[in-house]
Chain A
């Protein structure tokens, strides 16, 4: 097996392992009975009358809560395993190309997936998030990996402009912040789900898909705080990445800021995230809308990663698709 084949095999293994992990988390998420108890308490607070339906489903569940928790633990082990396989795949690429592994869009996207999952595992290890939410993290990361397949490129040598230690500094910062912000975006979405779930419950309205997923989510306030903390952590990193990029632009292109499409959209993302941080401290209604800004920010990041690479032409274009 050549290095390239080994790297690709590890990559495919990663996707399969994450898919298995996702399934295990889903079992825990659906059948661990402790979570419905929380929801029941919430519903009772809301004053609705049909409190028992969810609990009934849980008691009749084909999988016992203990087994469900076992599945969750398996999911966590698989997540670690898959992340190790992903890291190994990247390292294998480094060894056979003999260069830093951020040379084209595929490699960049894979890096974002790794950064996202490492962030997730770190949060779980610190006890900041319940394990069963790994369902959403593995889902998001697997989607990212799936997208990367569509832009798969044979690893080749780097063009001269990329041959610089600034690729390590700038691109690593960009990848790390994109990965962390991915998880931040997941929490912003979960928060909004839970919030509207709570609202419907207290209004006594029926809960339909996808809102019924929110039943077992942690408290909306806790999700919001976590969203904020992740963004507070990622924002300086994003800032640093942009600054490092402009230092590199000065060296490679002769000018530190060229308003090249990639720079324009990085600037837009930065401004949107700054707006998110402000919204959170500018009063009640702005704070309530802040999670939407976080999601908008990530949409801009994704746009910059995909559309700007594929559609716009600019100085960054040579990085190879």
Chain B
């Protein structure tokens, strides 16, 4: 028989087998048990993201991990340990889960849609097999009209059937909202994921440190750090400029209690003022400006060998909760003879500095414990020589280049750090001075545009709206049947695993048949002994 098959006949068979193969896999993937395993796998896969520093959170921490574990880190990196949530293995799990979810939702949608329009099914011939079953005695007075009215009033969906032998059955069902909610819940998970994906493609952000009285305009060159989604055109960023007029930090008992950045913004030729606070972002046409940090800016003036002065406003990076901060002052173009234009030997000057907001000279400790500016000092170490700024390599603005010190091209001037207060000066051996003029504040602003955000939020609200009925509503059926012999039977069936069916059905039966007496003894389910 097989030998005589023409190729045309064989082909459908191969296709059939192929389809059967995929159908089997599809069934596996969309089985609830698979969803269960994938859920647990997802939970497990999320763990490393909390134990290893993540690039998406702090590239500085990741670099620190590389410094501490130079052998291990590159291997971990190959396994995406520092980018867990965008790693192929994490993505694989959630994509499988999503496919499984879609495969689960579609057939259920179909079934539910049909159930919503189908007639409530008839009672089984032997109603006594159902979990709730009562035979009413003739005195119960079960009335068909009343049954319909009661069921309608209690919002059951009903179907009335009159059989040829005179049997009348009213079938009722309630709780369709459970499946509706459940489907809404599962669908909104997909909705949320779409929002997250949109966000990662279409969002952009930039972080900017802005000192008091300074301004900047929104373009990438102006940001200290930024990120762009794949679909964002950097030349098409919205046009606006921001000025920080004043920054105010309030402290109580040595701890900060309020930050307030007074900003002016300019967009589309309009200007506005805004009191930017933590938890209180500024929205400019859908782009949000957040206040995410703050710190101190030290103002110093350097007077060189020719009496020329340069003033620097230098942002410092806080090292602890008391805002003891580190920073550096770099003067690459000083000590140039104004007449000849000749550069002196060892002309460049740099200072590593620690800014202490409240210096307590009664202790031997340099670092203070109070973040407020009560007695600010700078602790300075001076260097002369070549700062190494011209070599084009990126370097920290918060410290003098250590490689230049190590190679001897920068020479340390003072052995002990020199501590100076506001108005004081440090004098270098060559007679030049650095004067501490004062301290200003800066704000760390984050500007972020994420069009996926509202989609995610809408998805989350739908998820909750679906979850509540999806968990709380019970789906159940109830039948009442008038038999030709004059007896009346009722029965009930739970379609979810819940208790309370007997009580509910008894109440219903009693409402339909006033003479009905529910059997008095209920089994003690909870074991309550009061």
Contacts and interface: CB of A to CB of B under 8 A. Distances in A.
Interface of A: 32, 34-35, 38, 127-132, 156-161, 163-164, 166, 217-219, 222, 225-226, 228, 232, 235-236, 239-240, 243, 246-248, 250-261, 264-265, 267-268, 271-272, 274-275, 277-283, 286, 300, 308, 312, 314
A312 B526 CA distance: 42
Given A259-B49, A261-B50, A275-B43, A222 B527 contact: yes
A280 B32 CA distance: 11
A253 B290 contact: yes
Interface stretch (B109-117, B135-143, B411-419, B462-470): B462-470
A317 B257 CA distance: 16
B227 to A, nearest CB: 11
Interface string B70-91: 0000000000000011000000
Contacts of B529: 32, 34-35, 130-132
A269 to B, nearest CB: 8
Contacts of B257: 157-160, 163
B471 interface: yes
A288 to B, nearest CB: 13
A275 B33 CA distance: 10
Nearest to B457: A247
A286 B50 contact: no
Nearest to B34: A282
A320 to B, nearest CB: 9
B103 interface: no
A254 B448 contact: yes
Contact of B526 (A128, A160, A281): A128
B57 interface: yes
Given A156-B255, A279-B36, A282-B33, A235 B471 contact: yes
A130 B43 contact: no
Nearest to A258: B57
B255 A282 contact: no
Given A160-B258, A236-B464, A130 B526 contact: yes
Contacts of B172: none
Interface stretch (B276-284, B338-346, B485-493, B501-509): B276-284
A222 B526 contact: yes
B530 interface: yes
A35 B253 CA distance: 57
B477 to A, nearest CB: 19
B472 interface: yes
A240 to B, nearest CB: 6
A258 B196 CA distance: 12
B253 A156 contact: yes
Count chain B CB atoms within 10 A of each CB in A161, A251, A253, A264 and give the residue with the most.
Answer: A264
Contacts of A265: 50
B169 to A, nearest CB: 30
A271 B43 contact: yes
B279 A252 contact: yes
Contacts of B196: 257
B292 interface: yes
A271 B36 CA distance: 10
A260 B58 CA distance: 10
Nearest to B44: A268
Nearest to A231: B471
Contacts of B258: 160, 163
Nearest to B40: A275
B275 to A, nearest CB: 13
A203 B327 CA distance: 74
Given A32-B529, A130-B529, A253-B292, 15 more contacts: A157-B253, A232-B471, A236-B464, A243-B461, A248-B279, A254-B290, A254-B292, A255-B448, A256-B457, A267-B46, A268-B47, A271-B40, A271-B43, A274-B39, A275-B39
A243 B185 CA distance: 14
A243 B460 contact: yes
B288 A254 contact: yes
B36 A275 contact: yes
Contacts of A272: 39-40, 43
B353 interface: no
Contacts of A240: 464
B83 to A, nearest CB: 10
Nearest to B35: A278
A283 to B, nearest CB: 7
23 contacts: A127-B526, A130-B530, A156-B253, A157-B253, A160-B258, A225-B497, A226-B526, A232-B472, A236-B471, A243-B461, A251-B280, A254-B292, A254-B448, A260-B57, A264-B49, A271-B40, A272-B39, A272-B40, A274-B39, A275-B39, A278-B39, A300-B43, A312-B50
